Amino acid sequence: MAWVRFHARYYVVALFFVLFDLEARFSSRGPRLPARWGRAGCRGILSFVGVLMVGWLWALKKGALRWQ
Q: CA-based diameter of the chain, in Å? A: 55
Look at residue 2 and tell me if it is in a domain: no
1 within domain boundaries? no
Structure confidence at residue 2 (pLDDT): 67
What does the pLDDT read at residue 48? 80
Classified as helix, coil or strand, 16 is helix
Q: Is residue 68 part of a domain?
A: no
- Integer Cα distance of 12 and 7 in angstroms: 9
30 contacts: CB under 8 Å, gap ≥ 6: 42, 45
Residue 58 covered by a domain? yes
- pLDDT higher at 49 or 57: 57
Domain that holds residue 13: 8-62
Structural domain count, the chain:
1
pLDDT in tens, 10-35: 887 888 888 778 777 776 665 666 66
At position 68, the amino acid (one-letter code) is Q
